[in-house]
Structure 1
Amino acid sequence: MELSEQNVNKQRPVYLDLQQIQFPATAIASILHRVSGVILFVSLAVLLWLFATSLESAAGFQTVTDLLNSLFAKLVFWGILTAMAYHLCGGIRHLLMDLGYFEDSMESGNNSARVAFALTAVLSVLAGIWLW
C-alpha cells in the first residue's frame, strides 16, 4: 500500500506525556469500571479455590480459616470487596445512563461519576470496618 504525501506530512505528537493530560471524571470512571471487572474476574478463581478447599475436609476448612485471619489476606479480601463495590456502583451508573439519565451534559456525567466514587468510598470503609 502506497503512502500519500498528505499522510506523511501530518504533524503528529512525538512525545505524549500522559501525566499532563487531565482526564474527565467520566473517563476515569469508565477505566476503573473495566479494571474492577478484571479484578473481580481474577479474584473469582481464588475465591472459588478457597471455597472448594474449605468444603473438602475439616483440615481444609481450618487451613482456609487460618489463611483468612492473616493481615495480608484481609487486605486482599478488602481490595476484592472494594472492587466489587465500585463495579456495582459503576454498573448502576451505566444502567442509568442507558435509560437516558446523566447524558444531557458533561457536567451531569462528571457528577454521576463523582457520586459513584463517593459511594464506593463509603462502601469500602464499611467493608474495612466489617473485616476488622
Structure 2
Amino acid sequence: MANTASKTRPKFLHLTEIRLPLPGIVSILHRVSGAGLFLCLPLLLWLFAASLGSPESFESFSAVVGHPLAKIFLLGLMWAYLHHFCAGIRFLLLDMHKGLELATARKSSVAVLAVSLTLTVILGVKLW
C-alpha cells in the first residue's frame, strides 16, 4: 500500500498576498489597457464620426464630451492609450533582447509608468 501522507499537496494561494514585481504590473496593465481600448473602440469611433459629420453632429459630440464624467472617462482612455503605447515600445525592445537584465527591466518599467502618467497629465490639462 502506497504511503499517501508523504505526497506533497498543492498549496492554496492567497491572491491578495502575492506581491507582483513592477515589470509584472506593467505587463498586466498593458493587457488591461489593450482590452479596454478594444472594448471602447465602438464608442471612440462614434465620437470620431460625430465630431466630423456635420455641425449638428458636432454639437451632439460637444454635449457628450463636455460632461465631467465623460471627460474623466476619456482621460482614463487617454491613459490607457499612452500606457499601451509606451509599454508596447518596451516589449518590442525586450523582444529584441534589449533590457533583459533585472535592473534594466525594472528601470524600464518605472520609465513606462512615469512617461505614460506624465503625458496623461500634460495632455489632460491641455485638453480639459
For Structure 1 versus Structure 2, the TM-score category normalised by the shorter chain is: 0.7 to 0.9
Matched, 1:76 2:67: no
For residues 97 and 51 of structure 1, what CA distance do their matches in structure 2 show?
34
Which residue pairs with 2:126 in the alignment?
130
Which residue pairs with 1:119 in the alignment?
115
* RMSD, aligned α-carbons: 2.1
After TM superposition, give the deviation of residue 100 of structure 1 in Å. Answer: 1.7
Q: Any gaps of 5 or more consecutive residues in structure 2? A: none
Q: How does 1:45-60 map to 2 (within 5 A)?
A: 45-60=42-57
For residues 111 and 54 of structure 1, what CA distance do their matches in structure 2 show?
40
For residues 53 and 125 of structure 2, what CA distance do their matches in structure 1 show?
30
Q: Count the aligned residue pairs.
A: 126
Matched, 1:32 2:29: yes
Following TM superposition, the consecutive aligned residue runs of length 4 or more in structure 1 with deviations greater than 6 angstroms are: none
Q: Any gaps of 5 or more consecutive residues in structure 1? A: none
Are the aligned partners of 1:85 and 1:124 in contact in 2 as well (CA < 8 Å)?
A: yes
Which residue pairs with 2:86 in the alignment?
89
For residues 55 and 87 of structure 2, what CA distance do their matches in structure 1 show?
39
After TM superposition, give the deviation of residue 55 of structure 1 in Å. Answer: 4.2
Percentage of identical aligned residues: 36
Deviations along 1:36-94, one digit per CA (max 9) or x if unpaired, are 10111112110111223344443222111111111011111111111011001100101
Aligned residue for 2:16, secondary structure, equals coil
Which residue pairs with 1:10 in the alignment?
8
- State the AA in 1 paired with 2:123: A
